[in-house]
Structure 1
């Protein structure tokens, strides 16, 4: 059962007033209807109240009609008195006179000119008839020699006809006088009825006008004036309780209700606006709010001539954490990182979450130097480990910076160019980077490379370069790493990192990886036939480890090329394994069972886990070049390299150090008992033909000294 709402005082007041107005209108209609009915009844009564004259007229008409019927009977029995023509004329005039009598009898209500015209017609017919009768009488007196037969019949007709015609004339005269008197009386009464009708009509009109005026004044007093007062109070946002104007109680209640509704609507609008402009997870401004802030900052910068900087921040390895530990842990990470960022910024700076693991910071009145300082402070937020869900892990980030108006002319360009700088910093592992126009062109150029890369894969237009690896102990070349190269017809060589990134974005990473495996094994097969026993290392991506068909493809290519499986080493990163550990371990185990060697690439920069390192079927660890290159200048890097070497040897794994560019670094690695080195100090990556020539020139005792010269010879 539906609950009834409590009756409002406003409703009760308006209801009573409109009921009173309806009652006044109903009473006025009843009075007006009664007056109109009384006057119309008077009019009808005055026209139909001449009963005396009507009775007299009816008697005279009956007598007059009877006289004519006597003449008609007389003619019917005396056709021999006259010829056929006279008889026919008499009969015709008699019929017309009879019709005129009926007109008067049934149309006695006709007055004035119409009744007078009827009487004139009747007298005309009777006069004509009288002429015919007189002619008959005169003809009977003058009849001679048998012109009129049976004279006695004529005499009898004349004797009977004369009293009838005389009576007719006296009846007509009497009828005419009575009708004339009746006409005068009825015309007078109709005039009286007309006057009464006009008076009633005017009275009704006056009453209607008076009612409308009274009703208008009542509405004006009870409705319009209070509503006008209410609208003024609402416009002034004043409270009627404290208003000097007098207003009905219900109007005050209405104002209070409206003010309460407006307050609730305003509160609801504020909540909706907050939800539209803020991230629901972190409570930070979202992309829409940031765009608004950027536009306001641009207007202020144009007016004051100041500059400001936009920072784009992207978290590293967040997807791995989110997919491995669950979305709830990922949400906690985002909230924790956003709190850390906010702690490094001033109150006037704006930090926003753009979606996923991407953040943006707007620094007002900040040039490049101030932006660099802020970027370094934000990067400090990643140094402290995170403890979530019983796990301890570290997360990194990359920052790109763009300055208005130096790097962009509007907010959209500023966002895009800060994004370009951020991806450049991520690729180069710089931590942060400032927008570079040349890099922007490079990135924009990638948009047109998708079709060209697909065609290059299908048409075998890519190539592989090979970088040799040296055994530290015996100075022998023990293997070479296959590195992808794409020589674009227009843009020249495109770096391998860029090609891989483009392939991952466009879904071409699987066919590209298969092309690299097939080409590498074909090259190794060719070397074997030439007597060159040089194993090859091939890089795999996360997509290869998650592809169920990849193992079968490798197995088939090994069979087709007749290459021993132990001459192949697949290099994988820690991040590739941790993105989907179960699938990755299954694929790695299959490749290990096939007889191939497995290596962890870029060790020390990814999601390190000793537990997985213990169970993965790997044969070697490859130290990332970021630790190797500067180990001469930074003792911490040397300590990290020594720790990785010791850990690997304790686990029975071989250690490869990449990024060896100087003899000093080589000497330190030799002291730390590193097994294999790779880098520009040995050789740059070169085509297969150049590598073959390099191998033919090398000598065991001078490999290090000659390697550099030969490398530069082919580059």
Structure 2
């Protein structure tokens, strides 16, 4: 790295270096002339070749004309101004010194032209390394160089990252070439918008970065860039609208590395997108939340390996008779580093990664093991477990369920699979076959959190399910909220018309219990009946209530 920087300084010298080089060239010319005169003239001089040093140096430093000019000066010094032999007082004939002058000029021209070609090649390589070929804008490496120059004076700098959402879908629709054409159009618009007050770069597939030196310019640029969403782009005569999101981080407040500032701006974008915001500013609270999420995922992986998760079982009862119906298996986690972590916090994170497969495998195996113990003791009740939508794309899961049924030898209808309505509503077509396969294995399937998703009536008749679970948000509001009452009543009525069983979760008061029983709900679950219990306490509760 140090050699590379030194080499570049020699090939692309700064102004002070050029001034020093001029003095070095003059010094070599004078020294060469003195040495030749002291040693008896041109005929006896072994120092004539000293003149090639300043000629070549001039060609390298000042390109072709510098080399030729120095060659011309050297030729004159070694021509009519120099003697052939001092002792004989002889002067060089014109043909001799003119030929020498021409040779010096040729060497200077060769040094200069060779250096010019080499400089062009180096610049071309550097340009390829620092410029994105699609947009012609600086890439991440190029922006990093510009960032270093801008921040060398320790001035404050704002980094704006612009991410174009749904580019994957656009590429699928109009092809990669069409997608590239769209990116070029967006780049042109951004370049026009920000003008000369900022530096625009293209850092990744669908992401741009803008370096702004003043906060007032940052706000102005953000307002202008927001107009990107209102522009109709044309690719292959197809009108396209884009959805840009903006993340903002600041140097040196948030970080001193451009790579880290871009990453933090992207973190701000990801959190803003969840809240349907288009602009988000990074702050340390976001950083702490992100670091915690990463720590949760790391510790979750360890917990799966070390069997550190715990399954607890929340009882369910029939509303009409108040007799035991079964349990829902719920995961609990008390991590040695993070402490108690809520399922609402760690499960969505796990669902977003490939950890969901080993995590679900652990849940299935642990649940089957406990059900096996209960069944050996004659405690025959169904247990429901929760699946993620991503589980259904894992063929190994169905093999696991089959193997567990063979291993523990109990009827598959004792196992219920719950999947959330939101997940189902987002992918009805892709989930039909996996649910059919679960039903073919003899298991029951329930839609959890009913009422929180979309198009409920659509999937109720399309999916081969056994029942629905009313979301606790509505259940806990039935006694004081008319809208919740209407939603719950209609949900129960609709489900029964489709021969589906209805479970109400989150029941906390006797009034809620009685109202749901009055409206014909089938099964109750919630703190009124019992909180989730560790396996030993769940066994005791089951034995007491079954008897």
What TM-score comes out, normalization by structure 2 length?
0.55
- Pick from 272, 285, 292: which aligns with 2:145? 292
Structure 2 residue 481 is the aligned partner of structure 1 residue 670:
no
Equivalent positions of 1:351-370 (< 5 A) are 352-366=201-215, 370=219
SS of corresponding position for 2:395: coil
Equivalent positions of 1:178-193 (< 5 A) are none
Structure 2 residue 132 is the aligned partner of structure 1 residue 279:
yes
**Structure 1: distance between partners of 2:449 and 2:215:** 41
Superposition RMSD on alpha carbons, in Å?
Answer: 6.1
How many pairs align? 423
Structure 2 residue 175 is the aligned partner of structure 1 residue 329:
yes
**Structure 2: distance between partners of 1:472 and 1:339:** 62
Equivalent positions of 1:674-685 (< 5 A) are 682=507
Structure 2 residue 347 is the aligned partner of structure 1 residue 487:
no
Instruction: Please name the residue that 2:520 is paired with.
Output: none
Counterparts in 2 of 1:490 and 1:430: CA distance versus 1, 3 Å:
farther
What TM-score comes out, normalization by structure 1 length?
0.44
Give the Å deviation of 1:377. Answer: 3.3
Counterparts in 2 of 1:478 and 1:338: CA distance versus 1, 3 Å:
farther
Structure 2 residue 253 is the aligned partner of structure 1 residue 440:
no
Structure 2 residue 474 is the aligned partner of structure 1 residue 645:
no
1:417-455 Cα deviation digits (max 9, x unpaired): 223334444667766543342442343356666764444
Return the index of the structure with the highest Cα Rg: 1
- Pick from 210, 215, 219: which aligns with 2:99? 219
Gaps of 5+ in 2: 1-84, 496-501, 518-523, 534-547
**Structure 1: distance between partners of 2:367 and 2:235:** 43
Gaps of 5+ in 1: 1-204, 235-257, 600-619, 628-640, 684-693
Give the Å deviation of 1:357. Answer: 4.8
**Structure 1: distance between partners of 2:404 and 2:507:** 30
* 8 Å Cα contact 2:417-2:444 kept in structure 1: yes
SS of corresponding position for 1:571: strand
* 8 Å Cα contact 2:293-2:349 kept in structure 1: yes
Instruction: Please name the residue that 2:260 is paired with.
Output: 413
1:253-294 Cα deviation digits (max 9, x unpaired): xxxxx69x969975x777655543343445554222332344
Instruction: Please name the residue that 2:387 is paired with.
Output: 539
* 8 Å Cα contact 2:388-2:419 kept in structure 1: yes
Higher mean C-alpha deviation, range 406-415 or range 646-655 = 646-655
* 8 Å Cα contact 2:140-2:202 kept in structure 1: yes
Equivalent positions of 1:2-401 (< 5 A) are 216-224=96-104, 266=120, 272-299=125-152, 302-303=154-155, 308-311=158-161, 313=163, 315=165, 325=172, 329=175, 332-333=178-179, 336=182, 339=185, 343=189, 346-347=194-195, 348=197, 350=199, 352-366=201-215, 370=219, 377=226, 381=229, 400-401=247-248
Pick the structure with more helix per residue: 1
**Structure 2: distance between partners of 1:469 and 1:289:** 62
**Structure 1: distance between partners of 2:330 and 2:389:** 13
1:36-94 Cα deviation digits (max 9, x unpaired): xxxxxxxxxxxxxxxxxxxxxxxxxxxxxxxxxxxxxxxxxxxxxxxxxxxxxxxxxxx
1:185-233 Cα deviation digits (max 9, x unpaired): xxxxxxxxxxxxxxxxxxxx99x997976664242454446877x799x
Counterparts in 2 of 1:269 and 1:220: CA distance versus 1, 3 Å:
closer
* 8 Å Cα contact 1:470-1:677 kept in structure 2: no
* 8 Å Cα contact 2:199-2:210 kept in structure 1: yes
Give the Å deviation of 1:407. Answer: 2.1
- Pick from 568, 590, 613: which aligns with 2:437? 590
**Structure 2: distance between partners of 1:624 and 1:279:** 48
1:5-59 Cα deviation digits (max 9, x unpaired): xxxxxxxxxxxxxxxxxxxxxxxxxxxxxxxxxxxxxxxxxxxxxxxxxxxxxxx
**Structure 1: distance between partners of 2:357 and 2:365:** 12
**Structure 2: distance between partners of 1:446 and 1:577:** 27
Give the Å deviation of 1:540. Answer: 2.8
Instruction: Please name the residue that 1:548 is paired with.
Output: 395
